Amino acid sequence: MDCTHRTPRFSLSSSIFKALKTTLQFWTPLLLTFHFLHLSLHLLFSYIFFSSSFYLFNLLSSINIFWVTQSLRFSFCILFPSGPEISQGQSELQQWEFAIHEPGVTHVLVTGGAGFIGSHATLRLLSDNHRVTIVDNLSRGNLGAVKVLQGLFPEPGRLQFIYADLGDKKSVEKIFLENKFDAVMHFAAVAYVGESTMDPLKYYHNITSNTLLVLEAMAKHDVKTLIYSSTCATYGEPEKMPITEETQQVPINPYGKAKKMAEDIILDFSKTSDMAIMILRYFNVIGSDPNGNLGEAPRPELREQGRISGACFDAARGIIPGLKVRGTDYKTADGTCIRDYIDVTDLVDAHVKALEKAQPAKVGIYNVGTGKGSSVKQFVEACKKATGVDIKVEFLPRRPGDYAEVYSDPRKIKRELDWSAKYTDLQQSLRIAWRWQKSHRDGYGVSNELR
């Protein structure tokens, strides 16, 4: 009987499973006690009746010990169906057997799939009839998003969730060993510019080192396609706008530097590999699923570092007293930063296009943006109109690591991938996101503890 530890794989549990497990957990300690007493009595009677025969006594004792230890092992597997390392916290989530490969169906590993962008990408992939494995350590993601996805696609074999940290080489190796992936969409990363200036080593470990581990595992297990989630922060603060893919990369904060290092590793690796690689450098992400299934739900402790859209919505809902705008002395028309805001639905569509168009032994690098910039003040006004709330705004000094103006030139991705942004009305994207925020005041309302 195989009772070895496997990487946790979860799906929504049924009431029958819960009842069965509760019953087994009640009776198993009694069975263990019975086995212990049974072994003791066997040894005692064997000694009394066969002590005169040393060899016969040893033989019978060995048989008894073997029989009882196997019974103990069986009982232990009932109590811990996947080993003691993952026995904690599974009353709401259960394991499914997930076939290692299904012919004719693309199996995509989505790292960071419990996060804002990753969960939306998973939704799209599942809607397109792909199989998806999410790997996430839930340090920034939401287990609630995974549960929503499992509820939308409950069939066994469609969606697998693995709780793991990509910084753990053994876990990464185990994941790739136990699965057959056709492609990897690598979203998992810490992604706050301000935080990166305060804790740069976290960003180099989480982004650069973890990407290296994923790439090594892909190469070892012959995974053919990588779609890498990069950022316009790798460009820094270019002198000329709009930004093209040929614009020199001179990042000015640890977040952008860590992403550029990861890109460099991928590009160097590509010279000796036939892997199909797509690198997407995208701009400021907003919006949410138009059908209202998913949205952005940052951790409360990270709201200070989060996206401006999240801060606007928090202010509109009264969670925070007002919006803090950092920097009004930039060399722009109204003194505030200019950004290219890309809707998450469009961004996910770009990833799917990249997956479809990826070619062996080739690297594609694309900016993903609308091609137009909006200032922070313009963004705030659009947010006020979308929410119908006159949000209080406080203007503060600049934040370290920020740049004045960034927006994309999307012509290359349009030409080569036939992709262009559809949700280009800033107020419309904010209105869709606000609809989800209003009905999810506490985010997904689900603890990230696996129980």
Q: How far apart are CA 428 and CA 368, in angstroms?
A: 19
**158 and 199 Cβ atoms separated by less than 8 Å:** no
Pairing of strands 323-326, 393-396: parallel
Q: Which amino acid is it at 158?
A: R
442's tokens: 């506490």
Q: How far apart are CA 341 and CA 205, in angstroms?
A: 28
Predicted pLDDT of residue 402: 79
Predicted pLDDT of residue 47: 55
pTM exceeds 0.85 for this model: no
**425 and 392 Cβ atoms separated by less than 8 Å:** no
Start-to-end CA span in the chain (Å) = 25
Q: How far apart are CA 141 and CA 437, in angstroms?
A: 16
Predicted pLDDT of residue 398: 87
Superfamily of domain 96-439: NAD(P)-binding Rossmann-like Domain (3.40.50.720)
| 341 has catalytic annotation | no
Where exactly are the structural domains of the chain?
15-86, 96-439
Predicted pLDDT of residue 273: 98
Q: Residue-wise pLDDT tens for the chain (451 aa)?
A: 333 333 444 444 334 444 444 554 555 556 555 655 655 665 555 556 555 554 454 555 555 555 555 554 444 443 433 333 333 333 344 344 566 667 789 999 999 999 999 999 999 999 999 999 999 999 999 999 999 999 999 999 999 999 999 999 999 999 999 999 999 999 999 999 889 999 999 999 999 999 999 999 999 999 999 999 999 999 998 989 999 999 999 999 999 999 999 999 999 999 999 999 999 999 999 999 999 999 999 877 777 666 789 999 999 999 889 998 989 999 999 999 999 999 999 999 999 999 999 999 999 999 999 999 999 999 999 999 999 999 999 999 987 767 889 999 999 999 999 999 999 999 999 999 999 999 998 899 888 777 6
Q: How far apart are CA 78 and CA 89, in angstroms?
A: 15
> Measuring CA to CA, which residue among 141, 25, 10 is closest to residue 443?
141
Cis peptide bond N-terminal to 29, omega within 30: no
CA separation, residue 351 to residues 7, 180, 344, 348, 409 (Å): 27, 20, 11, 5, 17
Predicted pLDDT of residue 4: 34
Phi-psi region of 412 (alpha: psi -120 to 50; beta: other; left: phi over 0): alpha
Predicted pLDDT of residue 308: 87
Q: Of residues 203, 255, 330, 444, which has the active-site annotation?
A: 255
CA separation, residue 383 to residues 308, 349, 380 (Å): 10, 24, 5
Pairing of strands 338-339, 374-375: antiparallel
